[in-house]
Structure 1
Amino acid sequence: MHFRILALLGFFFLAVLFPSAEPDLASDRAALLALRSTVGGRTLLWNANLPSPCSWAGVQCEGNRVTALRLPGVALSGQIPDGVLGNLTQLRTLSLRFNALSGTLPSDLASCADLRNLYVQGNLFSGPIPESLFGLSDLVRLNLASNKFSGDFPAGFGNLTRLKTLLLENNQLSGSIPADLKQLKLDQFNVSNNLLNGSIPEGLGAFATSSFSGNSLCGKPLASCSQDIALPAGEPSGSPGQPGGKKKKLSGAVVAGIVIGCVFGFIFLVILLIYLCRKKGSKKSRSVDVATFKHQELEIPGEKPVGEVENGGYSNGYSVAAAAAAAMTGSGKGEVNGSAGAAAKKLIFFGNSARAFDLEDLLRASAEVLGKGTFGTAYKAVLEAGITVAVKRLKDVNVAAKEFKEKIEAVGAMDHQSLVPLRAYYYSNDEKLLVYDYMPMGSLSALLHGNKGAGRTPLNWEIRSAIALGAARGIEYLHSQGPIVSHGNIKSSNILLTTSYDARVSDFGLAHLVGPSSTPNHVAGYRAPEVTDPRKVSQKADVYSFGVLLLELLTGKAPIHSLLNEEGVDLPRWVQSIVREEWTSEVFDLELLRYQNIEEEMVQLLQLAIHCAAQYPDKRPSMSEVRSQIEELCHSSSQKDRAPQLDQVNEVNDDTSSR
């Protein structure tokens, strides 16, 4: 009898000290429902009739507890009060990024002691960063970027000894960066576009300058700090040898004299330059020294750093003219005279292309730098007759004239509405120029990753799917020209757009003309795993690159910026990792999530992109199959009105895990 009483008392104390998992899960469920009731926006598709929240979209459970909550880009708004998220005590990952949540960050997040990943970038959170965050000792990744956090830069980040990612850019933080941050072993760090000042701690100097831009900071990797700036206010700034420890200061009269002298010196230099230029112009004739002209006018633009994205900058109006002039005059090795020189002064046009201009016209054309890409620099040339063309000046082309002519004429013979037409070319020992139709809307890369401000026009699903279809048709046509014909350099900056957003594939057929040094990291994010020589890219490798391009269209992420992903992996692997976690809409671009009734088509295109980017070439479809599936998808999207659904995630998971 006494034994039974003791056993019952033991069970009672165990029940009090170690409550069952069900009440804890019930508490998690209540916290999630409280969150849904406090934030507005798109309705969270949670079935409140289910006793367990583990099947709800965005909710992940382990051990009968909620361990991850991912609600990115679902148009949540309003403020999250204390007493909601703090009840999810077993939470390890919280992602509320790209919503419109406001107010202060809930201080009760400190109750989530196991929290490792916190992503709230792209919201409207304001006020100081709560001190409660600095008690989360297990925190590994913290992204508070693009909010309205203000106040002094907190010193508590140094307590987060496991932190690998700290992103605070585009806020209103002030003060200096605490020195104890250098103790952290950070892989990612960004505090750009805040109100910070002072010197950068020594241990953070290894990060890029872009991580600190938009502040009043100094020190490596930015400009070094002057001694006066580094000294605290009120401390003597002079050297020990000076009386009173104070540095002599220049009088106002001396400073004014120096300024006036600099101004007069500058005016004198300007007048001298104008005089020399006019003197040189008066002596200008057709017998100008070719070698000198090429060196002074042609080599300078080639050294000018230009971004990869089209429409990235402007020249001074001489780049194309200089290239054309150098080409027109030949290589300087006897081509100027005789019949060879006459041939060297001509553009070679293809087929029925209109011969409405020549090199003389290019010489006089105004020039604008469009971009510096894998195979050379591209320019927009506006001729006096009103014709606008794109001129590509090739680099690292060391093939003989006969071989160049054969290969480039094969490129010029390709005729398809989804290709950028090659109209003419010029070849000499020193200069190789290609003349294309000009595409006024620039590249897909510029459209996806360019202007992110308020004036940006979002790319809707119809435009993106149509671009995917147009690009697929162009690449399919290239592959139909022979079993060994491939593009070799498929990427978003080589998909150009007309005024009606029709896609045109450019730079096809050029990979076989240039040396291996011309294709370094520009295509690294798109290159198939099996490609070792960029001049020998198979059609299956093209399919892989196109799969990455589709992922770029769907996610809005650029493959060459893979480290911006929280997981720090390339785009295909990042997408697959999110898909495996059964929350597919996490991968989609926020701009796509604004549109209704397209979820099924988005998931289908995602499946196709993952299939194209399979690791092994024999697992990838042909471009004909890819084009056919995108056509069906576009037709289905335009003909049917489906309710939103993302329950095909398991199909994507099965497809991913089978590979």
Structure 2
Amino acid sequence: MAPPPVWLRLLASAILLLACLPGGAPDLAADAAALLAFREAVGRSALPTWNSSAPGAPCSWQGVACESGRVDELRLPGAGLIGQIPAALGNLTALHTLSLRFNALSGPLPPELAGLTELRNLYLQGNDFSGEIPPFVSSLKNLVRLNLAGNKFTGGIPLALNNLSRLGTLYLENNRLTGEIPVLDFPNLVQFNVSYNQLNGSIPAKLRSQPATAFLATGLCGGPLGRCPGEISPSPTAEGPAAGNADGAGENDHSKKKKLSGGAIAGIAIGAAALLLIVLVVLILLCRGKKARSSEAAAAGGKQMEMGAAAEPRDKSLGEGGANGNGVAAAAPAVDAASAAAGGKKLVFFGEGGTRPFDLEDLLRASAEVLGKGTFGTAYKAVLETGMTVAVKRLKDVNLQETEFREKMEAIGAIDHPNLVPLMAYYFSKDEKLLVYEYMPMGSLSALLHGNRGSGRTPFNWETRTGIALAAARGIEYIHSTGPSAAHGNIKSSNILLTKSYQARVSDHGLALLVGSASATARVAGYRAPEVTDTRKVSQKADVYSFGVLLLELLTGKAPSQALNDDGFDLPRWVQSVVKEEWTAEVFDPELLRYQNVEEDMVQLLQLATDCAAQYPDKRPSMPDVVARIEAISKSRSLASSYQDQPSIEDGDGMSPRP
């Protein structure tokens, strides 16, 4: 057989050579061409450094970042871009983030942007875009954040936006949108705003948990804006016409459902009477039992502290931590002080000459309520007859001899610092160990962060959070300064207590050395450093780890236990996983996104928190270094607390500048 012609062999060789070329090179070249077309259309004078001959082009160009041989980020906020976005931008098919906010871009969005199927973040706020919100937006199913605020978009809000199942942020405020809000349902929605539009009608049920600030200056009603005219039930979870009944439809059916038969009413009445009788019998038995116990205590010469009432803890939502850092308890047994009276035991006070503002008898007569039950025992708020209020901790699982217990108490009482909760006094007997502290009226950081997240909550601002972080760090730094092995051992948000002026103080210092192995094993879930196996032997570096988790809690608004439940791993690893995906804004507590000019400080504090929560102890900073870094962050700029419609932290670059 004759050999193939030369031209055919050359063609085959060329095809083979092209097939062997890496796929990224032609794609990156196409990305560069798309970017140059974009520059020609809207940024000839704004982007002088975009030059195809520049080393590393286009990945080295201003605002451009690449990943795996493709352009995956285009960030040009406030770059002076003018004109209409060209269709060529739709060729950047690997793009994850597109930020063109605060420019002078105008016209409708080109439909070719539908090709950006990998897009997660789209920030177009602060331009002059017009026309309706284009249908292609609803096809970008990977979108997590969408900000179209501050433009001139008209028409209605598309129902098809429900296709964006991953959406966490939707900002549409300051446009010219009209009509009603469709029935939107975003399972991951965190941030939402449609203020300053010409919208009307009832707020859909799924959006009624949003604050009133999300619907300002519109014609909307319902939910946080109050009932709509003729609305029967304000409940956002009700289904059917009765949920948002603007015209009274379904009212008759609703009334009919409430009607009960005569037999049902009679049954209810009989049941209520029987229940009342049972309650009365139980109360009589309880009263008799109480009188009998009181008589026995009096005969023995003892008294009982009035801490035995089945009082509900003040902070039900705190998980383990209570208002004074000691977890939830539905009730607590009375403190039996008969042995104290018999043995002549007294409260031992610290401070100036060991003065005694009250004695054990006064404490036992005090009215009290349960604050919480946690790692080291039960805490009570005790109001003395003089009006003085103290916090009393009734220790559990403490098996020390009196001499050793007193030595440890003397060491704890000698630790005096403005950012530590002072130990006023202690009491020791064989069966009871009591600690008396100064009462902190504002409760714990845990309560402030997680106690109430409803629409009526006052946002926990950035300045207060950094002040609490700095005060707590100084308290822990002082504990560490008292000796090379001195450590707190149980740092968590429920052990950071607050004064009336929201000054933070660290509580429970020194108690880690008192408890038995059972209590030690159970504590600091979510805060414990990876290297700690015996929590009675905690190092200063382990304290730094726990403090890092505390900082993450301040920044994210998430409790460590919440991260465990939501994602199956601890809070530091959850933060790392989110930041790794370049979704840094998703880390921060939505309440922090209200404040302008603090995004850089937030990222710096996040970096410090992750340094503290490093896997290996030698990678963590010391507490003096932590204090210095928080002080530097606090002084870096004046902290603003005004609300920002389009917080620029959304467009943050991550933990640190990308190379």
Q: Give the alignment's TM-score, normalised by structure 2.
A: 0.63
Cα displacement (A) at 1:275: 4.8
The residue that corresponds to 1:172 in the other structure is 205
Match of 1:488 in 2: 489
Compared CA separation, residues 260 and 545, structure 1 to 2 (3 A): closer
2:378 maps to 377
Q: Among residues 268, 285, 305, which one is paired with 2:277 in the alignment?
A: 268
Equivalent pairs, count: 524
Residue 427 of structure 1: how far off its partner (Å): 2.4
Measure how far apart 1:505 and its partner are: 0.6
Specify the alignment match of 2:136 in structure 1: 108
CA contact (8 A) 2:417 2:478 kept: yes
Q: Answer whether contact 2:490 2:523 (CA < 8 A) is retained.
A: no
Task: Give the equivalent residue in structure 2 for 1:43.
Answer: none
What SS is found at the alignment partner of 1:425? Answer: strand
How far is the alpha carbon of 1:525 from its aligned partner? Answer: 2.0
The aligned counterpart of 1:467 is: 468
Task: Map residues 54-73 of structure 1 onto 2, 5 A cutoff.
Answer: 63-64=70-71, 65=92, 67=94, 69=96
Greater shift, 374-383 or 520-529, is seen at: 520-529
Q: 1:216, CA displacement in angstroms?
A: 8.6
Counterpart in the other structure of 1:626: 626
Q: How far 1:384 sits from its partner (Å)?
A: 2.1
CA contact (8 A) 1:146 1:168 kept: no
* 1:599-641 residue CA offsets vs partner (Å, 9 max, x unmatched): 443333333222222221112222122222323333343599x
Which residue identity is paired with 1:383? Answer: L
| Counterpart-to-counterpart distance in 2, 1:260 and 1:69 | 64
Residue among 319, 322, 339 paired with 1:310: 322
Q: What is the letter of the counterpart of residue 108 of structure 1?
A: F
Q: Which residue of 1 aligns with 2:526?
A: 525
Identical columns (%): 48
TM-aligned CA distance change 1:144 to 1:588, over 3 Å: closer
SS of structure 1 residue aligned to 2:478:
helix
**Aligned letter for 1:363?**
L
Q: Match for residue 598 of structure 1?
A: 598
Task: Find the aligned partners of 1:316 and 1:619 in 2 and give their Cα distance.
Answer: 35
* Whole-Å separation in 2 of the counterparts to 1:302 and 1:131: 42
| Residue identity opposite 1:265 in structure 2 | A
In the TM superposition, residue 389 of structure 1 has moved relative to its aligned partner by: 1.1
The amino acid of 1:347's aligned partner reads L
Is the alpha carbon distance of 1:609 and 1:106 closer, same or farther for their aligned partners in structure 2, counting shifts above 3 Å? same
Matched-pair contact (CA < 8 Å) for 1:83–1:108: no
CA 1:214–1:542: 2 relative to 1, 3 Å? farther
Alignment partners' CA distance in 2, 1:417 and 1:258:
62
* 1:149 Cα offset (Å): 9.0
Helix, strand or coil at the partner of 1:385: coil
CA offsets 1:296-321 (integer angstroms, 9 cap, x no match): 9859779999543434999999967x
- In structure 2, C-alpha distance between the alignment counterparts of 1:637 and 1:57, rounded to whole Å: 25
Offset, 1:558:
2.4
Q: Distance in 1 between matches of 2:408 and 2:170?
A: 49
Which amino acid is 2:205 matched to? Q
Deviation of 1:367 after TM superposition, in Å, equals 2.6
CA distance in 1, matches of 2:434, 2:136: 64
Q: Give the AA of the match of 1:408.
A: M
Q: Of the candidates 254, 259, 265, which is equivalent to residue 268 of structure 2? A: 259
1:535-554 maps to which residues of 2 (within 5 A)? 535-554=536-555
Matched-pair contact (CA < 8 Å) for 1:314–1:370:
yes
Question: Per-residue deviation at 1:263?
Answer: 3.1
CA-based RMSD of the aligned residues comes to 5.7
Q: Which runs of 5+ in 1 are unaligned?
A: 37-46, 134-138, 155-165, 175-192, 194-212, 218-250, 655-659
Q: Displacement of 1:423 after TM fit?
A: 0.8
The AA in structure 2 aligned to 1:260 is: A
Amino acid at match of 1:359: L
Assess, with a 3 A threshold, how the Cα gap between structure 1 residues 414 and 68 changes in structure 2: closer, same or farther: farther
Q: In structure 1, what residue type is equivalent to 2:114?
A: N
- Segments of 5+ residues of structure 2 without an aligned counterpart are 1-6, 20-24, 51-57, 72-91, 127-131, 150-155, 173-179, 192-203, 208-222, 224-234, 240-259, 641-647
Paired AA for residue 264 in structure 1: A
How far did residue 351 of structure 1 move?
A: 3.1
- Separation (CA, whole Å) in 2 of partners of 1:318 and 1:525: 24
Query: Is this contact kept in 2: 1:313–1:371, CA < 8 A?
Result: yes
* Residue in 1 that maps onto 2:443: 442
Kept in 2: contact 1:129–1:150 (CA 8 A): no
Change (3 A) 1:129 1:558: farther
CA contact (8 A) 2:532 2:542 kept: yes
Residues 1:551 and 1:95: Cα distance change in structure 2 (over 3 Å): farther
Compared with structure 1, are the counterparts of its residues 271 and 387 closer, same or farther at alpha carbon in structure 2 (3 Å cutoff)?
Answer: same
- 8 Å Cα contact 2:324/2:443 also seen in 1: no
Does the aligned pair in 2 maintain the 1:350–1:423 contact within 8 Å?
yes
Task: Give the equivalent residue in structure 2 for 1:498.
Answer: 499
Matched, 1:87 2:114: yes
1:513 counterpart letter in structure 2? L
User: Would you say the 8 A contact 1:394–1:432 is kept in 2?
Assistant: yes
Cα-to-partner distance string for 1:387-410 (whole Å, 9 max, x where unaligned): 111122222222222222221221
Deviations 1:370-397 (A, max 9, x none): 3333222222222221111112222222
Return the alpha-carbon distance in structure 2 between the equivalents of residues 295 and 381 of structure 1: 9
Counterpart code for 1:91: E
In the other structure, the counterpart of 1:184 is none
Maintained 8 Å contact 1:376/1:395? yes
After TM superposition, list the pairs within 5 Å mapping 1:5-154 onto structure 2: 63-64=70-71, 65=92, 67=94, 69=96, 87-91=114-118, 93-94=120-121, 108=136, 111-112=139-140, 118=144
Q: Shift in Å at residue 550 of structure 1? A: 2.0
Amino acid in the other structure paired with 2:518: S
Q: Say if 1:28 and 1:88, in contact at 8 Å, map to a contact too.
A: no
What TM-score do the two structures reach when normalised by structure 1?
0.63
Whether the 8 Å contact between 1:297 and 1:318 is mirrored in structure 2 is no
